[in-house]
Amino acid sequence: MLKNKLKIIALLTLIVLALTTPFVNAENEAVEATSDENSAATATDVSDDENPQEGEQAQDTTTDNSLKSSDAYLFGDTITVDYIVDGNAFIFANKVVINSQIGGNVFVCAKEVTVEENGFVVNSLFGFAEKITVSGVVCDLYAAAKTVDVTGYIYRDMRTGSETLNLTGIVGRDAFVEADKINFTASDENSNIIQGATIGNNFNYTSSEEITIPENMVKGNVDFKKSVDVTSMKSINDYILDLGTFVCTVAVIWLLALWLAPKFVKNPYNILSKKVLPVLGYGILTPIVFAFAFVIFILLGITANIALLSLALLVMLMAISSSAFVITANGLVCSKLKIEKTIQTFGILIISAIVYWLITLIPIVGSIISLVACIIGLGIIVYNILPLKAKADKTEVVEAKSDKTK
């Protein structure tokens, strides 16, 4: 009864999200751009001498059609924003070119992102890409990329993390930079400096080596921090915190499973002994199915929420997959040792979680075990969720009863 209610609630939630969230596909944007061009051509063909009022009205319609008065959700291979967006822009593509004004924030994930000279982001640009180039104007820049080139104007603050930063433009206030290589000047073919950077306030940077700052480039203070390998900085407290987090996660999921699905906790023998192949199959195929569904939802342009919801669901399942593996393995150990009391099972579970976590710390071997545990754990979850599982269990019960009667 509880499962049926939860399914109905989840279904209703999906329907509401699908109907209430707008989605704009890149192909739709291309259609709108084409209609704008057609409207402009129509306005031009109308003679002002024959009907000046109609000509003025057509020109006004073209101006209105070049403005998008809502948030833009853009997906595709190459996205070019050459029209005004009076709202936020959410972009996922291979190559992105911004050549117009965007009145809100820009959230972009792409291989290459370019804000051209005519590009203007009124608020913040949050970019994740292989290369990000800013030749226009951005209010605040938050970027993570392999290469960041800033030749334009950052009106307020800039926060970037990259391998290479080429900063030859202007930063109005503070710059917070983490990069292995930083360049502040651009030169021509004859090695003559043709452009240099200007930072209106403080410059805070982290790099492997301290660099020479050109004179008068920074109006405020310069703060340098030497970058250090993160793995060498991990202390005993960090390991203890990681262990405690993992053990608590396993314990919480075990308690939830004991409440909502006690068979999953108390009867793990068939899953790891007789159902290994189906579990492995589910664990391998589930990410593939989710990825395929995500792409289909995006290409069909049904709604962005279903695609994002499916992606979030996959991430959640993979996050708890290791815990599911430990819980199932612990149940198998307890059944072998004939431990049936809940308190004793819980104590063995804590020990199992600690042992598993310690094994994952072993170089190479630990990574392989983590991957296998993730696949098996994901398969276990899916195997216990699918309706086919319930039918199979009923069939096994019927067969067992028939054998007893015989």
Considering only the C-alpha atoms of the chain, give the largest distance between any 2 of them, rounded to a whole number of Å: 100
At residue 303, the pLDDT reads 59
At residue 269, the pLDDT reads 52
At residue 345, the pLDDT reads 81
Q: What is the DSSP letter of 120?
A: E
Two structure tokens written together for 27: 């192909």
Q: What is the DSSP letter of 139?
A: E
List all residues 6 or more positions away from 313 whose beta carbon is below 8 Å from its beta carbon: 290
Report the chain (406 residues): mean pLDDT per 10 consecutive residues: 44 43 42 43 42 36 63 89 93 92 93 95 93 95 94 94 92 93 78 78 91 89 78 66 87 81 60 68 84 75 68 83 85 78 83 88 84 85 66 46 47
Two structure tokens written together for 190: 């004859």
The phi and psi torsions of 85 (rounded to 5 degrees) equal -115, 110
At residue 189, the pLDDT reads 67
Give the 3-state secondary structure of residue 50. Answer: coil
At residue 377, the pLDDT reads 83
At residue 235, the pLDDT reads 66
At residue 13, the pLDDT reads 46
Question: What number of CA atoms fall less than 13 Å from residue 370's CA on the CB side?
Answer: 14
At residue 255, the pLDDT reads 84
At residue 190, the pLDDT reads 66
Cβ-count burial of 21 within 10 angstroms (0-12 exposed, 13-18 middle, 19+ buried)?
middle
At residue 54, the pLDDT reads 38
